[in-house]
Amino acid sequence: MASKAKIAKACKAMKTLGYSGKTVRPVVKELLELYENNWMLIEEDSYRVLVEAILDREEQKSQINESEHLNAWSEDEAEENEPPLKRSKLSSQKNQSSPLLHAFRPNSSNELENQPSYKQMKDQSTCEKHQDKDVEIEAPYTSNYCHGKRKTSSSPSLVVEEQAKGTKLISDRETDESNSLVPLAHLGNNGDESDSCCDFLGKRMITYERENCTFFCKETGNLHDDDLAFKENVFDKHLCEASAESEPLSYDLPGFEVPHAVVPPDPPRLLLEGCSHANYPSAKANCSIFPEVIDLDAEVLSPCLPQKDAYSGERSSGLEGNHSEFVNYTQSEEQRYENVTRDSLKLDVASSSGGEVKISLMVKSALRSDFHVPSLESVLKQVEEQFLKSYMIPQTDFSMLRLMNEVCEHFLVAGTTSTYTEDVNPANVVSSLGISEDPDSEDGPAKGIDHQLSLCSKSTIMNDSVRIQNLFEVSPQIPRFFGSVHLDLSRCRISLTVDVNVSSKKERSIMELNNCTPSSSRMMIAQKQHCYHYIEDITKGQEAYGISLINEINEDRYPTFNYISENVTYQNAHVRFFLGSISEENCCPNCFGDCLSLEIPCNCAGKTGGEFAYTSGGLVKEKFLDNLISLKHAAQRRNLFYCEDCPLERSNGKNSSGKCRGHIVRNFIKECWYKCGCSMKCSNRVVQQGIKAKLQVFMTPEPKGWGLRTLEDLPKGAFICEYVGEVITRRELFERNMQSTVYRHVFPVLLDAGWSSRVLKDEEALCLDAAVYGNVARFINHRCFDANLVQIPVEIETPDHHYYHLAFFTTREVNALEELTWDYGIDFNDYQPAKAFHCYSGSKFCRDHKSI
Ligand SMILES: C[S@@+](CC[C@H](N)C(=O)[O-])C[C@H]1O[C@@H](n2cnc3c(N)ncnc32)[C@H](O)[C@@H]1O
């Protein structure tokens, strides 16, 4: 076919995805140049590379747009509002590829994965090919490069780096600039060797593939000027990003040793959230002088309110400390608390000594030119729908306006009750409510107000009024915002502090609506409804199926950690392997597709006696599983593994003299590896394909905190999930434990403990720590002995026992809504990597004899 016709065909194909010819043509041209007019590569797999390239371009464009908009918005605010913890955001998250791209990505069994991707091709064009074999490659090289230690060496050199697939890197090693926890690179897709998509701080690194392996190539010389210019641009940008992200993560935060949520920011949207990270410093400053806070996400985000310990439920610090700084103000002065919510909304609370409180929401800026002011009714309706859908409010006649009206009334009742108990008569409380265009205001019509909702509650006693205004400030020529309207009022905590001058006596009443007296019956009903805390998908689309979270038990909120679906490698952890070891004797590099259904199993089944450990349906075969479980139980009964100089005890700051008290987990893993042999890459696609079970995180009724349950019946041997976290060395674990003064709730898992033929040093032995970065497995609770899950070491990338994946499978049939548990293998009398807890598993085999 002539080139023109082919271009037209490509355009047509892309049109179905919504890309115009104008967008597609230049990309096709670029690809043709790149692939030297090899149309086959472009057309293959429904134009996969083309889609990838278009998305790549769009992404770049939108990044530029976004940064332009952000600059335009808040030049003056940008600096002071820089969120300290937002900086630890994973760049790999930032660069999640779009679902569209995934739709076009062949699955792991597709041969096409062996083909170089667009990114690779593009990058290869500036990268020399490396021909060496059996190079041992270590992850930390990457950190040198990624952290801006750009080597300007004139001698051309090329360093090849290899990173185990299915892992991302987080490293701050050998950096002069910062001690940051900046994630560096993401390589591979679910651990599949042949996927060579590679990011470097959100941009391309130079990659190429040889045999089944993907490399990082670090270029330090021999670049063309253009290349250099391109790289310098990219590099400078990365440096900016890196320095912006260079705030170290704290492992010493109250409740969890994790930072506040560091999820990648969604595009700006109308989302009501109170003190967000983006306004942390200013909000903090404001709070100290003006403690009127309408905090719509207080427990998670607000630094102004006491933080709640996720387990004890106690508040540790907060607003109270600031009361002394409350500023008196005169009738004429209007005090103002401005809380910039996200980027697009402004929450504004203003009050006067006359008792008037104005709460306004203003759309401050926007990114979309097609924004129009919605009708207030439609906003309220949307919120109500959202409310009813997400928070399981049983009443179908739920109304936002009624809720706000009640807020208003109870504000007054609670305020008058606490300060002037004798005078309060609810009958005296009159509330009025209405939606109006620029309603009466003592200040006269407010400028630029298109819509206003005002709620007024009046007391004959105090003549105070509360007004909640909903102001959309819109200037027609400036595009404003886009995104969905989402008001999470269930997370709303309203704290109002009112100063009232009565008979020259100044009194202050602080009302937390959550603490309304029982007489506030209607409010109590409303609060009861709010007990449900529900999140539709905690993975934010990172898993194939969403995983919901619900708390019907208490007020605890979703714990703050970073959801990741693949392991990330932190700092010193060497996740390495020898290329030479992935060879035909161990597995078959060329076999793709469904190996499990082969009549004669391929070489991958070698370790399991010529038989796959999985059934063709992807369940671990019963005999393997039973063997494994009995081994595990036997191992627990038998003598423990003892060490003279115990790294575990040392990692808990204990000086062990003489033999330690033994480790069950070590023996167990060591034995089950060989017997179960859930090994080799083909069969382990079951694991690679990711979570398929319908899971839900829920608050357990026992004092165990969150737990994980299945929402559907599961057969025996079903894969549930991997234990995903940061791959760290035992030394790093030790350092984290030393730094942390708080109780560690998430159990780290030791990899490779006692595995190697030689004793591994602390800086070599690996652990998985899911406290800060982790997946849903971090919610699985412990059960002694008869847990319904078992953890199985799984080889994905390489038969290297130094690093492997830990996957959970069911040990028996599990009913829908049953909690999923695994035996942490802890000895409740022994020191563990994390402090042991009192076991509430309720197992009749419970090993915690002190448990109640
Ligand atoms: C890996 S986390 C599991 C998720 C945890 N429940 C949460 O809320 O995040 C381990 C922690 O959960 C709690 N836990 C797990 N199993 C438990 C059990 N059987 N009894 C009591 N607490 C348990 C302990 O606090 C432990 O440190």
Residue nearest to atom 15 of ligand 1 (CA): 781
Q: For residue 327, what pLDDT band results from cuts at 50, 70 and 90?
A: very low
Highest mean pLDDT among 424-433, 465-474, 669-678, 688-697: 688-697
pLDDT at 431 over 80: no
Ligand 1, closest atom to CA 770? Answer: 1
Where residue 689 sits, what CATH number does that domain have?
2.170.270.10
Angle between helix axes 21-34 and 3-15 (nearest 10 degrees) is 130
What spacing in Å lies between the alpha carbon of 780 and ligand 1's midpoint?
7
Which of 490, 518, 546 delimits the end of a domain?
A: 518
Closest-CA residue, ligand 1 atom 11, reads 745
- Asked whether residue 842 is assigned to any structural domain, the reply reads no
Q: pLDDT confidence of 707, banded at 50, 70, 90?
A: very high
> Given 518, 547, 568, which residue is the final one in a domain?
518
Is the shortest distance between the CB of 704 and ligand 1 below 6 Å? yes
- How remote is the CA of residue 781 from the centroid of ligand 1, in Å? 5
pLDDT at position 813, please? 96
Could you tell me if 771 and 578 are in contact, meaning their C-beta atoms sit under 8 angstroms apart? no
pLDDT of residue 846 exceeding 50:
yes
| Ligand 1 pocket residue status of 778, Cβ below 6 Å | yes
Q: Which atom in ligand 1 lies closest to the alpha carbon of residue 824? A: 16
Residue 544 lies in a domain: no
Residues 235 and 301 in one domain: no
Q: What proportion of the chain, given as a percentage, has pLDDT over 90?
A: 9
Q: Are 770 and 721 part of one and the same domain?
A: yes
Q: Do residues 506 and 637 share a domain?
A: no
Give the H or E element holding residue 336: strand 335-341
Q: Give the mean model confidence (pLDDT) for residues 745-754.
A: 67
Nearest atom within ligand 1 for CA of residue 745: 27
Concatenated DSSP letters of 247-286: PPPPS--SSSSSPSP-PPPPSP--EE-SS-GGGHHHHHHH
Strand stretches in 283-383, DSSP E:
293-295, 335-341, 345-351, 356-363
- Residue 544 pLDDT > 70, yes or no? yes
Do both 55 and 188 map to the same domain?
yes
Q: How far is the CA of 730 from the centre of ligand 1 (A)?
A: 22
Mean pLDDT for the stretch of residues 425-454:
33
- Top mutation candidate among 699, 704, 723, 742 for ligand 1, by most atoms within 8 Å of CB: 704
Residues 222 and 317 grouped into a single domain: no
632: Cβ below 6 Å to ligand 1?
A: no
Start-to-end CA distance of the chain, whole Å, equals 77
pLDDT tens readout for residues 50-64: 888 888 888 788 777
* One domain, residues 23 and 97: yes
Q: Which helix (H) or strand (E) holds 127?
A: none
Residues 6+ apart with CB under 8 A from 227: 126
**For range 98-121, the mean pLDDT:** 33
Q: Based on the structure, what is the number of domains in the chain?
A: 3
| pLDDT, mean of residues 257-269 | 27
Q: How far apart are CA 465 and CA 442, in angstroms?
A: 12
Q: Which amino acid is it at 142?
A: T
Nearest-CA residue for ligand 1 atom 27 is 745
Asked if 211 and 101 touch (Cβ cutoff 8 Å), the reply is no
What is the average pLDDT score of the chain?
A: 54
pLDDT of 579 higher than 80? no
Is pLDDT at 586 greater than 70 in this prediction? no
141 vs 685, residue with greater confidence: 685
Show the tokens assigned to 682: 């083909």
576 lines ligand 1 (CB under 6 A): no
Give the mean pLDDT of 627-631: 79
Is 776 a residue whose pLDDT tops 80? yes
Q: Is 828 within a domain? A: no
> With a 6 A CB cut-off, is 822 part of the ligand 1 pocket?
no
| Structural domain range at position 207 | 3-244
238 and 279 inside one domain:
no
Tell me the pairing of strands 706-710 and 695-699. Answer: antiparallel
Q: Ligand 1, residues 533, 778, 781, 835: which to mutate, most atoms within 8 A of Cβ?
A: 781
Q: Which atom of ligand 1 is nearest to the CA of 780?
A: 3
Query: Between 1 and 105, whose confidence is greater?
Result: 1
Q: Are residues 762 and 615 in the same domain?
A: yes
* Pair (652, 734) in one structural domain: yes
Q: 332 vs 786, which has greater pLDDT?
A: 786
pLDDT of residue 772: 87
85 with 14, same domain: the answer is: yes
Asked whether 557 lines ligand 1 (CB < 6 A), one says no
Distance 840 CA to ligand 1 centre (A): 9
- C-beta separation of 319 from 293 below 8 A: yes
Domain end call among 518, 553, 582 = 518
Q: What is the pLDDT of residue 705?
A: 93
Q: Using the predicted structure, report yes or no on whether residue 531 has a pLDDT greater than 60.
A: no
- Do 294 and 225 fall within a single domain? no
Is 558 part of a structural domain of the chain? no
Would you state the structure tokens that stand for residue 234, as one six-digit string? 């990219």
pTM of the model: 0.44
Q: What is the pLDDT of residue 594?
A: 63
What is the predicted pLDDT for the residue at 448?
33
Backbone angles phi, psi at 182, to 5 degrees: -80, 125
Residue 840 lies in a domain: no
Nearest-CA residue for atom 2 of ligand 1: 746
Cβ 161 vs Cβ 218: under 8 Å? yes
Asked if 602 and 640 sit in the same domain, the reply is: yes
Neighbours of 154 (CB within 10 A): 8
**DSSP secondary structure letter of residue 478:** S
Mean pLDDT, residues 804-821 = 93
Report the C-alpha gap between 38 and 34 in whole angstroms. Answer: 9
The pLDDT assigned to 76 comes to 41
- Distance from the CA of 650 to the center of ligand 1, in angstroms? 23
Look at residue 82 and tell me if it is in a domain: yes
Split at pLDDT 50, 70, 90, the class of 329 is very low
Give mean pLDDT, residues 261-272.
25
Q: Distance from the CA of 827 to the center of ligand 1, in angstroms?
A: 15
Interface ipTM > 0.95:
yes
Q: Tell which one of 837, 845, 851 to mutate to probe ligand 1, the residue whose CB is within 8 A of the most ligand atoms.
A: 837
850 lies in some domain? no
Task: Say yes or no: CB of residue 837 within 6 Å of ligand 1.
Answer: yes
Top-confidence residue, 546 or 323? 546
How many of the other CB atoms lie within 10 Å of CB of 191? 26
User: β-strand 805-810 against 719-722: which pairing, if any?
Assistant: antiparallel
Q: Is 745 in the pocket of ligand 1 (CB under 6 A)?
A: yes
**Residue 313: how many other CB atoms lie within 10 Å:** 10
Token pair, residue 239, equals 């440096």
* pLDDT recorded at residue 661: 63
Average pLDDT over residues 192-219: 24
Asked whether residue 351 is assigned to any structural domain, the reply reads yes
